Structure 1
Amino acid sequence: MNSDLGELNKPRESQNNRPNILVVDDTPDNVRLLSSVLTNNGYRVCKALKGDMALTVCKNALPDLILLDVMMPGMDGYEVCKSLKQQESTRQIPVIFLSALNEVEDKVKAFEAGGVDYISKPFQEAEVLSRVQTHLKLRQLQINLQEKNLCLEQEIKDRQNAQRSLEMSEAKNRALVNAIPDVMFRIGEDGFFLDYRSPSLKSLEDIADDNPENQPGNALQKSQYFTQNIFPISESLAADSSFVGKHINEVLSNDLAIWIMHYVQQTLLTSKLQLAEYIQRDKNQERWVSYEVRYVKSGPSEVLAIARDISSRKQADAAKLQAEAIMRHQKQKIEQALKDLQEAQVQLVQNEKMVGLGQLVAGIAHEINNPVNFIYGNISHVQSATSSLVKLLEIYQQEHPPNEKVREVMEELDFDFLTDDLRKMITSIAAGADRINEIVLSLRKFSLMDEAGVKKVDIHENLDTTLILLKHRFKITDEQEIELIKEYGEIPPVLCYPGELNQVFFNLFNNAIDVLKDILPDRLKAQEANPNAPEFIPSIQISTELTEHQTLLIRIKDNGPGISESGRSRLFDPFFTTKPVGKGRGLGLSISYQIVVQKHGGQLSCNSTPGQGAEFVIELPLVQSTVDPLGAV
């Protein structure tokens, strides 16, 4: 049957076009005559003059019918027919023999070879057409019958498979239901029990194994025991009576019956699953037991309810909640201890930094101050003496003209240039001494070694002092320097801890300079690659203003790459840094945050969009408490 299906599924031109008939005869006149008759009647014709040629034609294109001559040189018609019937692809093709042999044994031999009909020569045109048409119809009916048989066999197989699947599904469902250790019942909207199922013996044995105290003797006793634990049966109903057909009020207590009917009505009204729980004493009144009931609409006016003991789950949930509460408490204690430890570490680092900075600045100021004072104090005398000597030489030159040897020396030394350059050098030395004196003064103001505690200061002066110390860092390359933009507002003196506030300014300026130095090479390469791009000028903008809430806002903004949202969320955490490994310890901003927020009662925040720079905003109250909650830093 599978071979027939394979044959039917093969593409054949006759299935979409005119029938194809193969004419095999060694007489060309017969072939031409038959071809003409068949073609004129709407058939397509293939021709073969020998038996082996006919077999080749059948391999290339299967005909719908073959008109085969018996007497041919080489392979005769009987041999050709037998060969066709031996091959799977050509076995079903009808063969009509054409022969001048009219003996009965010749016709019998033709039918034994596999032929379906026999036409004697000389043949009549009408007879040939009639028999061809008849056998083509028979062939088509045969094909249709085979197709229907195949479809019927497939349908039978599908139904058998569906039946097996249904039986397997039913078996699984039965096994699943029997494995459920729950009480299940159907109840109508009028409150009558329609069906009731107690747990199976196997599931009850599992329950009994979990509860060694409960070991009823047989399945009926186990079912009654389990049922009475789930539902407190009314005393008026015998323990072994069937629930089916009885009203819920006859079986259960009034409170439980009202509770169940409420959920039955809700399920029928909403057509949605209803989940409910209830608690009651166990049969022996020794402990509280929790039960869960699921209500599902199982018909237009009935509900399926599944009741399960969830005491173990409730106990496990309670134990889990208790364990989670303990873990949360322990986690909070650990996090607080870690936070305290980090703050203590930051405080120690800050103390060490401030002590070290004070000692360093004190030493630098002391070592530089004395020679600078000597130079700065004597520079005016040097200027006066130099001017007097130059004036004396000029008068002496006028009163006593130099001889030839003196003139040669004066020309060699370029006396006029030398006197002018000497005055300029002394002026430059004086300017350098002023600069050194200014730096020493800035160092003393930055660390405020000669001040302590809370003082009123001019914040602008503190900002400028910090910028003086960092001025050498503003020059990134010989051609490129960071542009400094100041937008100072009118602000009053602020009561604060000046030395520690200078440390905050120093950290913020230093971070901004580091960022701009890091990105400058990439920006310059991008400009070289795209000359039409706007020129990148690294800049730091400082602005101050007084708010309506009588607080001072200090904004320090750069035009660097900005900070991502994930980075901003941890920016002020101790030991967190966005710099590469080895370039930062992650303490600068954490220390700054403690100084601004905890020390001064202010706010320190960061506003940044990736690609558009970062802005740090310091908000300080104008008046500080004279008591330092953290102690001196």
Structure 2
Amino acid sequence: MHLNLTQHSKGNILVVDDTPDNLRLLSAMLTAQGFEVRKALNGKIALTACQIVLPDLILLDINMPGMDGYQVCQQLKADAQTCDVPVIFISALDDVLDKVKAFDVGGVDYITKPFHVAEVVSRIETQINLRSLQIKLQEKNFLLQEALDNLKMSQVKQIQNEKMVALGQLVAGIAHEVNNPISFIYGNLQYASQYVQDIINIIETYRQEYPQPNLKIQTIVNDIDLNFVINDLQELVGAMYRGADRIREIVLALQNFSRHDEAQMKAVNIHEGIESTLVMLQHRLKKTANRPAIAVIKEYANLPLVTCYASELNQVFMHLLNNAIDSLEESVIKNRQLLTTDYGLLTKPQIRISTKVIDLQTVKIAIADNGVGIDESLKSCLFDPFFTTKPVGQGSGLGLSISHQIVVQKHQGEITYSSSPGQGAEFAIAIPIKPAA
């Protein structure tokens, strides 16, 4: 709100009084002092006049038929458009003025009839000046808040950029360092497996050709349980082969997750990004002493390639999946007094990941959990930088704000959520398949 001040007016005053003589007197008095004056004979007209042109101050008679001054003031203060307009009550000298009620309903001052010009003008100017100062303070507070919000967003952007560079370098470095020795192991295991099989064939041939070996050989065979060793050796080689193959998959997932060499937008398979992120979080999904394993239910649609910043979008998946896991862990803590050996109420913690195409132009990815949900009082703060519900030292408060920035600002999309306490939460990302230039 701004005061309606011009070069020729000290302020716009609305005078409300059911006595025409009082209206004329106050109008003449205030106009002569440089104010712009409007008049209203009752409360209903006054409320309508405020909606048409917002006054800078209202002089309001208390004793009026139909709607008295207190009731008019209450309605003014209940309306967001008029609640900040200062109201000075008018009362005849011999009327009973309920000063407590006058201030309780929102009045800032009162004057009594008969009017003294100097007193009326002084009280009006005081309130208009106060209102002007309040408006200036609000404007400065707004600018300060805007500057603070911009600073926070800059900090989030800088932190995100630094995190992405550091994470990309770390993951790419680990993948490179692990890839070389595991490729060596994986490649040589094929030969080792063949050599083991050759040796086993030789031993079996010896046993066939010499079914009755001497006592020394029989003793060694019995001591080491040769049949067990032969069978177990084959199992061990197979297990090592599968383990090495798993490490190769993890290295590939690390490389896909970081996409360190892809700084520009590129058409990618969204499902590959989700899968690589799940590999990174596999250790958090496993069964613990407090809960069963978290089931991941995938409802993937047939998606086209999506043009995006793959590594940054993977960061969003990482944040949302981590939050879902945290919510399920919190469910365990909140239900601990009810837990039994089969984990009580939380018998089936799960995360549901679904994807689909909307209007042939947008891809939607939804990540839902059946955890504790989000309290209604926290929903307005979820995407604020540095806001976190986690204990000190357990959360930076940047995950959702960074995700919001990546989805909304960098991908021209939107990120939304739905939740009810105790019913879990769902976060949904919608981004264009091909963003506008």
Give the TM-score range, shorter chain: 0.7 to 0.9
Distance in 2, matches of 1:351 and 1:272, equals 61
The answer on whether the counterparts of 1:568 and 1:606 sit within 8 Å (CA) in structure 2 is: no
Counterpart residue number, 1:359 = 169
Distance in 1, matches of 2:303 and 2:240, equals 37
Counterpart residue number, 1:501 = 313
> How far 1:510 moved relative to its partner?
1.0
Counterpart residue number, 2:391 = 580
Instruction: Kindly indicate whether residue 247 of structure 2 is the aligned counterpart of residue 436 of structure 1.
Output: yes
TM-score, structure 2 normalization: 0.72
Shift in CA distance, 345/295, structure 1 to aligned 2, threshold 3 Å: same
Q: Select the residue among 261, 274, 285 that pairs with 1:474.
A: 285
> How far 1:313 moved relative to its partner?
2.9
Identity, % of aligned positions: 42
> How far 1:564 moved relative to its partner?
1.0
The answer on whether the counterparts of 1:372 and 1:437 sit within 8 Å (CA) in structure 2 is: yes
Structure-to-structure mapping, 1:285-304, within 5 angstroms:
none
Letter in 1 for 2:401: S
Shift in CA distance, 269/615, structure 1 to aligned 2, threshold 3 Å: closer
Instruction: Kindly indicate whether residue 204 of structure 2 is the aligned counterpart of residue 394 of structure 1.
Output: yes
The answer on whether the counterparts of 1:482 and 1:539 sit within 8 Å (CA) in structure 2 is: yes
Letter in 2 for 1:544: T
Counterpart residue number, 2:364 = 553
Instruction: Kindly indicate whether residue 373 of structure 2 is the aligned counterpart of residue 562 of structure 1.
Output: yes
> How far 1:522 moved relative to its partner?
4.2
SS of match in other structure, 1:449 = coil
> How far 1:306 moved relative to its partner?
4.8
Counterpart residue number, 2:418 = 607
Distance in 1, matches of 2:323 and 2:30, equals 74
Instruction: Kindly indicate whether residue 139 of structure 2 is the aligned counterpart of residue 329 of structure 1.
Output: yes
Letter in 2 for 1:368: V
Deviations 1:588-625 (A, max 9, x none): 11111111111111111221111111111111111124
> How far 1:396 moved relative to its partner?
2.6
Counterpart residue number, 1:30 = none
Q: Select the residue among 393, 397, 408 that pairs with 1:597.
A: 408
SS of match in other structure, 1:485 = strand
Q: Select the residue among 368, 371, 376 that pairs with 2:181.
A: 371
> How far 1:434 moved relative to its partner?
0.4
Deviations 1:505-548 (A, max 9, x none): 1111111112222331443531439x997563211111112223
Deviations 1:111-156 (A, max 9, x none): xxxxxxxxxxxxxxxxxxxxxxxxxxxxxxxxxxxxxxxxxxxxxx
Deviations 1:83-138 (A, max 9, x none): xxxxxxxxxxxxxxxxxxxxxxxxxxxxxxxxxxxxxxxxxxxxxxxxxxxxxxxx
Number of residue pairs aligned between Structure 1 and Structure 2: 355
The answer on whether the counterparts of 1:563 and 1:610 sit within 8 Å (CA) in structure 2 is: yes
Distance in 1, matches of 2:324 and 2:64, equals 68
Letter in 2 for 1:586: G
Counterpart residue number, 2:434 = 623
SS of match in other structure, 2:347 = coil
Distance in 1, matches of 2:307 and 2:92, equals 71
> How far 1:351 moved relative to its partner?
1.7
> How far 1:294 moved relative to its partner?
7.2
Counterpart residue number, 2:224 = 413
Deviations 1:412-471 (A, max 9, x none): 211122111111111111101100000000000000023221011111111111001101
The answer on whether the counterparts of 2:286 and 2:292 sit within 8 Å (CA) in structure 1 is: yes
> How far 1:329 moved relative to its partner?
2.1
Letter in 2 for 1:487: E
Counterpart residue number, 2:299 = 487
SS of match in other structure, 2:371 = coil
SS of match in other structure, 1:544 = strand
SS of match in other structure, 1:554 = strand
Distance in 1, matches of 2:179 and 2:396, equals 33
SS of match in other structure, 1:615 = strand
TM-score, structure 1 normalization: 0.51
Letter in 2 for 1:392: I
SS of match in other structure, 2:314 = helix
The answer on whether the counterparts of 1:485 and 1:539 sit within 8 Å (CA) in structure 2 is: yes
Instruction: Kindly indicate whether residue 123 of structure 2 is the aligned counterpart of residue 313 of structure 1.
Output: yes
SS of match in other structure, 1:573 = coil
Counterpart residue number, 1:87 = none
The answer on whether the counterparts of 1:346 and 1:590 sit within 8 Å (CA) in structure 2 is: yes
Letter in 1 for 2:317: F
Structure-to-structure mapping, 1:161-560, within 5 angstroms:
306-307=114-115, 309=117, 310-401=120-211, 402-477=213-288, 480-528=292-340, 536-548=347-359, 550-560=361-371
The answer on whether the counterparts of 1:466 and 1:502 sit within 8 Å (CA) in structure 2 is: yes
Counterpart residue number, 1:20 = none
Letter in 2 for 1:523: N
Distance in 2, matches of 1:273 and 1:507, equals 58
Shift in CA distance, 558/273, structure 1 to aligned 2, threshold 3 Å: closer
> How far 1:387 moved relative to its partner?
1.1
Shift in CA distance, 534/522, structure 1 to aligned 2, threshold 3 Å: closer
The answer on whether the counterparts of 1:273 and 1:294 sit within 8 Å (CA) in structure 2 is: no
SS of match in other structure, 1:528 = coil
Shift in CA distance, 373/293, structure 1 to aligned 2, threshold 3 Å: closer
The answer on whether the counterparts of 1:273 and 1:295 sit within 8 Å (CA) in structure 2 is: no
Distance in 1, matches of 2:182 and 2:64, equals 98
Counterpart residue number, 2:84 = none
The answer on whether the counterparts of 1:274 and 1:294 sit within 8 Å (CA) in structure 2 is: no
> How far 1:315 moved relative to its partner?
2.2
RMSD: 3.7
Moved more, 405-414 or 591-600: 405-414
Kindly report structure 1 stretches of 4+ aligned residues shifted beyond 4 Å.
Answer: 229-232, 266-275, 291-296, 304-308, 531-535
Letter in 1 for 2:309: Y
Shift in CA distance, 419/274, structure 1 to aligned 2, threshold 3 Å: closer
> How far 1:400 moved relative to its partner?
3.5
Letter in 1 for 2:182: V
SS of match in other structure, 2:296 = strand
- Gaps of at least 5 residues in structure 2 are 1-18, 32-38, 46-60, 71-87, 96-111
Shift in CA distance, 386/314, structure 1 to aligned 2, threshold 3 Å: same
Deviations 1:358-390 (A, max 9, x none): 221122112211110101111111111111121
Distance in 1, matches of 2:89 and 2:296, equals 73
Deviations 1:169-209 (A, max 9, x none): xxxxxxxxxxxxxxxxxx9x9x9xxxxxxxxxxxxxxxxxx
